[in-house]
Chain A
Amino acid sequence: MPSSDRRPCLAVLILLIMANKLSVVSRVLVAFASGALVAVFFLPVWRIDLFAPQYPEGLMMNIWINGLSGDVEIINGLNHYIGMKHISVEMFPEFIFLPYVVGFYILLGMIIAIVGNRKLLFYYLILTVIGGALALYDFYQWGYKYGHELDPKAAIQVPGFSYQPPVFGHKRLLNFDAYSFPDIGGWIVIAAAGLAFGVWYFEWRNPKKQIK
């Protein structure tokens, strides 16, 4: 079904493909990297570990793109003493749209792999960094509210103390040592982004070694 509407699009596409063409290996790697993001539908993205003297085995909360798992109820049980909100899936509207966002990234990555354009890959990487930064900011925002908006009737109240969990790394919260790190899904995202970045960097530094 030939259509005159599609002609300018096609022209742009061809133009883009012609210029800054990625190598086949690079394109396969980009496809692999964006395809790897599928993993986050099956693996947790982030984890928060809590250790206290009376919890030598630790408590863990896994954050997925669409939900939570781990010792969430135990953590909630402990946190009610200091008046923290009850953590639940409903608390995070992110869980509704995050799967679509990730789907979008996968689709975009695949398109770039097919198209094989280095510039587009660069924009894709920029978009990835922005996405990651937004996610971390969002996480920080939640953590701030969770740690500061305490029930004024809470049994334990330490003057001037808040319980904001760390965005990344370690923080001491009363008797708990809290550790916040990417979980396996998160590391796959980071590795995929790193791989895509590596491909772009390699292509950028070695423009002449392109394989036709």
Chain B
Amino acid sequence: MKKFKQLAWLFAVVAFGLFGQQSCKPKGGSSGVGADAAAKAYVAPGTYDEFYNFVSGGFSGQMSVYGLPSGRLFRVIPVFSVDAEKGWGYSEESKPMLNTSHGFVPWDDLHHVALSVTKGEHDGRWAFGNANNTPRIARVDLQTFRTAEIIEIPNSAGNHSSPFITENSEYVVAGTRFSVPIGDNTDVPINTYKENFKGTVSFIGVDPTSGEMNLSFQILAPGINFDLARAGKGKSAGWFFFSCYNSEKANTLLEVNASQKDKDFIMAVNWKKAEEYAKAGKGMKKKVRYAHNKFNESTHTATSVIKEEVLVLDPKDCPDMVYFMPCPKSPHGCDTDPTGEYIVGSGKLAAVIPVFSFTKIQEAIAAKNFDGEYDGIPVLKYDAVLHGEVQKPGLGPLHTEFDGKGNAYTSFFVSSEIVKWNIQELKVLDRVPTYYSIGHLCVPGGPTSKPHGKYVVAYNKITKDRYLPTGPELTQSAQIYDISGEKMKLILDFPTIGEPHYAEAIPASLVMPKSKKIYKLEENKHPYAALGEGKAKVERKGKEVHVYMSSIRSHFTPDNIEGVKLGDVVYFHVTNLEQDWDVPHGFAVKGANNAELLILPGETQTLVWKPEKTGVYPMYCTDFCSALHQEMQGYIRVSPAGSNVPLTFSTGTNLPTDNK
């Protein structure tokens, strides 16, 4: 009996050892959702979301539009990447939008969104987005939800620090992430970085009525990396703050070599002063090449112009324009609070969050409280400009948004959480996990003078097990948290396209009433428009065949075309004659080497087609337009090069000869 007891004890120990360890592992991420979460994120069928959420598409190059709090995807606006679905970059009208000084560039990486503001508050007019790879800024018109303008940024490489916006949308900025050789001789050894590489921050003026962009001036900066930026607000409205890393000026293995200094910088720019210098002719005009592309709403056609000059301001010639503030370590986010008094730096390798005071910055500048210079630019004393540091906030702080109630919300990539803290007292109030490894975050109106609060959205970098798996490549994962109470509460997970970086959310009431429903036919000034079926025709101009085609439910005019010969280039100029909401027509022709067209009511779009073989080719409407959508089709005949088939076109009359 005793022996049995002893053996039983022994086995118990072994059993605990083998299986007991399993219970030590942490729980999964599905916990922590309150019972009322569903009701908070639920937008009943047929009702609207409270906010539009404009989300950058990252390496998709596009901008997506979601509803909050439902997380429903409404639209993917093609911006920097071709989109075959919408004919963007494939139609003759949209191709010039993707033109650059490097020629046609069909892709880019859109990282940040900036919504236009008036007096620091959202005005619902435009959304700006940056191209990170081939430096550009795009302006999306929020009446049409289409890209209206794209401007290339010269003397820049990696337009990351962009397109942040000033308080009255006077300027959007473009700071270069990569410093590069600038000037006449750019063919230099890479390891002469310290001598030859320079950074720039560009100020792109925005016309207050039309929104049209214009590269107003560039500020020449030391050869460091510009990461993110924010304009001041209120008292600090005349200033712009840029976070910078790689003050080590490393040109290789930056993950180590650009992480050596305890502090890098936030560059404070007095842009009002810069504007004065620019007007006073203090800048130098430099020869450059950059494309400026505009979409004309009345011709439905984009034009691309290459410009060849930029005004560059050198801080050496422009005193009191640029200052550096030391910021612990490799700052990423650089965010100004709604009052404009506080600037939050987020050193992604730092153990604290430093908060700078605009008042103290002004005092330090007045008192010349400098800690030496960096490349000739005065460096302000860290302690002199610091409001304070948030201690032990989390690991890997990246970005900060605000709720307008004195609180800040900072995202932490490494510890995968959002931390709420009080700006005045620098005290951590709450923290919630994100799934997983959050990058940017968004509070509706968070970067403006009047945040709308209510929610904070986490845009994460890692998805893993959040949704049903789809092979190695997964969607991106976002979460919405209710921030109306003291504690942040997770209410919804939703998948996002591309890889979202920054996003902004704006009350639907500021955008929805202005949303365009159709393009008016009487305003259509497209040179190849067929404004009525009677205007439809086919014209030959040498080797070019221009088809002035109309589409209306449920036929094309013309839908029988003959007389096209091998070697011809056929232009299908399709005008959608519908004037009714939500009746787009599509157009596709067999063997086309580009894409389809998607033509909105009242619009004219052109597809180029180069037939390679003789025969009869079908063409049809791709967007299900009506009950007889499937009948909306036609033929185009291609004859040999020397053929004498006459050029004819018709709809409904090209009947079999015995019927005539």
Contacts and interface: CB of A to CB of B under 8 A. Distances in A.
A and B held together in a complex: yes
Contact of A201 (B6, B14, B17, B25): B6
Contacts of B417: 53
Which of B21, B255, B415, B416 gathers the greatest number of chain A CB atoms within 10 Å?
Answer: B21
A182 B433 CA distance: 30
Interface residues of B, number: 34
Which of A49, A174, A198, A206 gathers the greatest number of chain B CB atoms within 10 Å?
Answer: A198
Interface string B1-19: 0110011001001100110
A153 B6 contact: no
Contact of A57 (B10, B351, B464): B464
Contacts of B26: 51, 177
Interface in A110-163: 153-159
Interface residues of A, number: 35
Contacts of B464: 54, 56-57
A17 interface: no
Interface string B428-467: 0000011111000000000000000000000000101100
A56 B349 contact: no
B7 A198 contact: yes
A207 interface: no
B28 A56 contact: yes
Contact of B414 (A57, A174, A184, A194): A174
A155 B253 CA distance: 11
A133 B28 CA distance: 35
Nearest to B329: A157
Given A155-B255, A159-B351, A194-B13, A175 B395 contact: yes
A58 interface: yes
A16 B2 CA distance: 28
Nearest to A155: B259
Nearest to B256: A153
Contacts of A174: 395, 414-415
A66 B26 CA distance: 30
B24 A187 contact: no
B157 to A, nearest CB: 23
B303 interface: no
Contacts of A182: 17
B118 to A, nearest CB: 39
B633 interface: no
A4 B622 CA distance: 104
B251 interface: no
A181 B3 CA distance: 29
A190 B626 CA distance: 76
Contacts of A92: none
Contacts of B10: 191, 194-195, 198
B101 interface: no
A52 interface: yes
Contacts of B6: 198, 201-202
Interface string A25-43: 0000000000000000000
Contacts of B351: 158-159
Contacts of B433: 53
B357 to A, nearest CB: 25
Contacts of A198: 6-7, 10
A169 B20 CA distance: 12
A95 interface: no
A155 B437 contact: no
Contacts, number: 80
A206 to B, nearest CB: 8
A170 interface: yes
A155 B7 contact: no
A179 B25 contact: yes
A201 B2 CA distance: 12
B260 interface: yes
Given A158-B351, A174-B414, A51 B17 contact: no
A181 to B, nearest CB: 5
A156 B256 CA distance: 9
Interface string B21-52: 10011101100000000000000000000000
Given A181-B21, A194-B10, A155 B436 contact: no
Contact of A58 (B13, B14, B25): B25
A153 B260 CA distance: 6
A184 B395 CA distance: 34
A54 B437 contact: yes
Contacts of B29: 53, 56
Interface string A174-205: 11010101101001001100110010011001
Contacts of A190: 13-14, 17
A70 B270 CA distance: 54
A129 B351 CA distance: 43
Contact of A187 (B18, B259, B465): B18
Contacts of B462: 54
Given A58-B25, A198-B10, A201-B6, A155 B349 contact: yes
A155 B416 contact: no
Which of B14, B29, B462 gathers the greatest number of chain A CB atoms within 10 Å?
Answer: B14
Contacts of B2: 205-206
Nearest to A51: B26
Contacts of B436: 53-54, 56
Contacts of B256: 153-155
Interface in B443-501: 462, 464-465
Contacts of B7: 198
Nearest to A151: B256
Nearest to A25: B3
A30 B447 CA distance: 73
B25 A184 contact: no
A187 B17 contact: yes
B14 A179 contact: no
Contact of A49 (B3, B14, B25): B25
Contacts of A158: 351
Contacts of A54: 416, 436-437, 462, 464
Contacts of B21: 179, 181
Contacts of B435: 53
A97 B22 CA distance: 31
A175 B204 CA distance: 41
A114 B509 CA distance: 90
A191 B414 contact: no
A175 B414 contact: yes
Given A155-B255, A175-B414, A190-B14, A56 B465 contact: yes
Nearest to B27: A56
A155 B2 CA distance: 60
A49 B22 CA distance: 11
B14 A52 contact: no
A59 B29 CA distance: 16
B139 to A, nearest CB: 35
Contacts of A201: 6
Contacts of B416: 52-54, 175
Given A53-B433, A56-B29, A179-B24, A184 B415 contact: no
A51 B24 CA distance: 11
16 contacts: A53-B416, A153-B260, A155-B256, A155-B349, A157-B349, A170-B24, A174-B414, A179-B25, A181-B21, A187-B14, A187-B17, A190-B13, A190-B17, A191-B10, A198-B6, A198-B7
Given A175-B414, A190-B14, 20 more contacts: A49-B25, A51-B26, A52-B416, A53-B415, A53-B435, A54-B437, A54-B464, A57-B464, A156-B349, A169-B24, A174-B395, A174-B414, A179-B24, A179-B25, A184-B18, A187-B14, A187-B18, A190-B13, A198-B7, A205-B2
10 nearest CB pairs, A to B: A53-B416, A155-B259, A54-B436, A191-B14, A54-B437, A181-B21, A175-B415, A187-B17, A54-B462, A198-B10
Interface of B: 2-3, 6-7, 10, 13-14, 17-18, 21, 24-26, 28-29, 255-256, 259-260, 349, 351, 395, 414-417, 433-437, 462, 464-465
